[in-house]
Amino acid sequence: MTQVLVTQVRGKTGAPLSALLVERGAEVLGGTRDPEALRLAGVTPVRFAWDEPDTWAPALRDVDAVYLVRPDWENAPEIIEAFLAEAEPSTRVVFLSEQDADYTAPDGWSPRNEAAVRGSGRPWTILRPSWFSQSFTDPRLFAGAVLDDGELPFPAGDGRVAWIDARDIAAVAAVALTEDGHDGQTYEITGPEALTLPETAEVLSTLLGRQVVHRDLSIDEALGDSTGFARELDALTFERVTAGRFAPVTDTVERLTGRSSRSLRDLDLPH
Ligand SMILES: NC(=O)c1ccc[n+]([C@@H]2O[C@H](COP(=O)([O-])OP(=O)(O)OC[C@H]3O[C@@H](n4cnc5c(N)ncnc54)[C@H](OP(=O)(O)O)[C@@H]3O)[C@@H](O)[C@H]2O)c1
């Protein structure tokens, strides 16, 4: 039986991925900082934290494959390199990167993360998803603002985003983790259509059954009082939205899973 470590198993892609892997008959180790709290059917909790390197080797013991979700921290490239050095050389690695990952600031961070995977000596597949549709169910992102204020504050200009459902990223990851033929591949993963932010707000209005209006704002306004690396990274991400870097639509979900990708219109939003 294939044994797979899923890092950030309680996250947006980790949770649906673990369910798909269980369905495929894999033995799933779910990496979390709080194993006691993990309630995912068929998943064996394993303590795992990016800032506690002594949790890495025990979590990797005997696994055939790992789903690697990077921490969005400045030292992520070094962390990824050190983590993968602890894996058996045959361990298959499926790495969650992002669409348009060749941008070079700050300090080449995104390409350096991917380089740490490609240079690891382990068989790898890189997933480059667009923005997740589940950004609108995460209170750390837009759920609070959208649900409570009827407003979607998002600096985008005319930029479009091909929102990708995290369940579809999970479906692609499940294929890459358990089937042959994906080593050395880099997959851009998007939803079926690229929406402007006013169009996105219209879709959210329909899903919520009440009006949500897009409010364009400057990137500085959107970043509020965040500082340091997180601010730089978020600023770049919004600049890339405005520049249309998340607009290209790909057929990766259909090619790898045999079914169409879900649209933002398919998102489950609590009314
Ligand atoms: N959101 C998007 O639109 C988007 C688009 C493209 C790429 N990405 C990438 O996708 C990844 C996931 O992003 P997300 O913000 O949406 O997160 P997420 O999937 O919601 O994951 C959050 C999880 O991270 C785990 N976590 C937090 N701190 C940790 C630590 N120190 N060590 C280990 N695990 C920790 C937590 O699990 P426990 O509490 O169980 O430990 C939490 O459940 C990021 O690398 C991001 O760059 C996101």
Pull the structure tokens for residue 138. Answer: 């995460």
Pull the structure tokens for residue 109. Answer: 């961070």
Q: What is the CA radius of gyration of the chain?
A: 18
Pull the structure tokens for residue 263. Answer: 């649209």
| Residues contacting 177, CB < 8 A, separation 6+ | 2, 4, 21, 26, 65, 67, 92, 94
Residue 187 and residue 95: Cα distance in Å, rounded?
10
pLDDT in tens, 100-132: 999 988 999 999 999 999 999 999 999 999 999
| Residues contacting 262, CB < 8 A, separation 6+ | 133, 165, 167, 168, 191, 192
Whole-structure pTM over 0.95, yes or no?
yes
2: CA distance to ligand 1 center in Å? 24
Pull the structure tokens for residue 214. Answer: 């897009």
DSSP 8-state secondary structure symbol assigned to residue 183 = T
CATH of range 3-266; options 3.40.50.720, 2.40.110.20, 3.60.21.10, 3.40.605.10: 3.40.50.720
pLDDT in tens, 57-73: 999 999 999 999 999 99
Q: Which residues approach ligand 1 with their CB closer than 6 A?
A: 8, 10-13, 32-34, 48-51, 69-72, 96, 98, 129, 131-132, 135
11: CA distance to ligand 1 center in Å? 6
> Is 5 strand, coil or helix?
strand
